[in-house]
């Protein structure tokens, strides 16, 4: 088993990050991966961050939520989605009848980009293998991409969220539901727009729940 693991690690290093050994210990694999992430120096973002934010939650989640990257509060505490956008995400998860411990919450980049700017192409390229390995270990039933940065970097596309949401896409055979980033709601002033965005996110989450329950066509 150890030899097989070494061979798989070799192929992962060569770029096949989504390879995962069936039946291997997810908890241990995730803990090992997290330890690796906490030592990452693959891009400049580790120089300016306060804490790495590797992601957290169940090691056997029905749902993997993926955001863009840590903000100020997340950077301060090393935990994903614990600021204002995180409070909204918590409400969404609660409304789905779940808790944070039932899902996994991660990001495209594990270190905060300075001033919350969008992560640059080379930063995403350097960091994405971590996320791909997390997905391979977690094997979620559904992936929710929160916002276009998560969606387009994971899929290598350039979709507009307004146009693509409502559809169920796929990542390596895992159903992927794109929806608005919770911060999208926080930035809105118009009450009608806020209610519409909230409703659309909820529509998307109903799809996610159907997928996890095995009821989505």
Write out the residues near ligand URA by the rule CB under 6 A.
Answer: 67-71, 74, 80-81, 83, 85-86, 107
Q: Which pair of tokens denotes residue 162? A: 């307004």
- Rounded Cα distance, 169 and 209, in Å: 15
Q: Give min distance, CB of 3 to ligand URA, in A.
A: 37
Whose Cβ is closer to ligand URA: residue 20's or residue 198's? Answer: 198
Our CB check for ligand URA shows the closer of 80 and 178 to be 80
Name the residue nearer to ligand URA (CB basis): 57 or 70.
70
- Give the shortest CB-209-to-ligand URA separation in angstroms: 22
Q: How far is the CB of 29 from ligand URA (least distance, A)?
A: 22
Cβ nearer to ligand URA, comparing 83 with 178 = 83
Q: 47 Cβ partners below 8 Å, 6+ apart?
A: none
Tell me the residue length of the chain: 217
Q: Is 106 helix (H, G, I), strand (E, B) or coil?
A: strand
Cα 57 to Cα 19, 98, 140: the distances in Å are 21, 12, 12
Q: Minimum distance between the CB of residue 161 and ligand URA, rounded to whole angstroms?
A: 13
Enumerate residues 6+ apart whose C-beta is below 8 A from 188: 194, 197
């Amino acid at each position: 088993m150890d030899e097989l693991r070494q061979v798989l690690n070799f192929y992962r290093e060569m770029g096949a990050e989504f390879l995962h050994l069936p039946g291997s210990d997810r908890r241990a694999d995730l803990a090992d991966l997290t330890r690796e992430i906490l030592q990452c120096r693959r891009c400049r973002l580790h120089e300016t961050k306060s804490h790495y934010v590797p992601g957290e939650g169940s090691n056997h989640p029905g749902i993997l939520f993926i955001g863009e990257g840590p903000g100020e509060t997340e950077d301060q505490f090393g935990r994903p989605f614990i600021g204002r956008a995180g409070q909204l995400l918590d409400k969404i998860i609660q409304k789905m009848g779940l808790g944070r411990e039932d899902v996994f919450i991660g990001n495209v980049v594990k270190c905060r980009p300075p001033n919350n700017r969008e992560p640059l192409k080379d930063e995403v390229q350097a960091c994405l293998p971590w996320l791909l390995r997390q997905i391979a270990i977690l094997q979620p039933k559904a992936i929710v991409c929160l916002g276009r940065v998560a969606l387009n970097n994971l899929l290598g596309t350039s979709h507009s969220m307004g146009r693509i949401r409502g559809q169920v896409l796929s990542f390596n055979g895992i159903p992927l539901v794109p929806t608005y980033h919770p911060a999208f709601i926080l930035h809105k002033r118009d009450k009608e727009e806020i209610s519409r965005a909230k409703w659309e996110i909820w529509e998307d989450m109903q799809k996610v729940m159907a997928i996890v329950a095995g009821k989505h066509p």
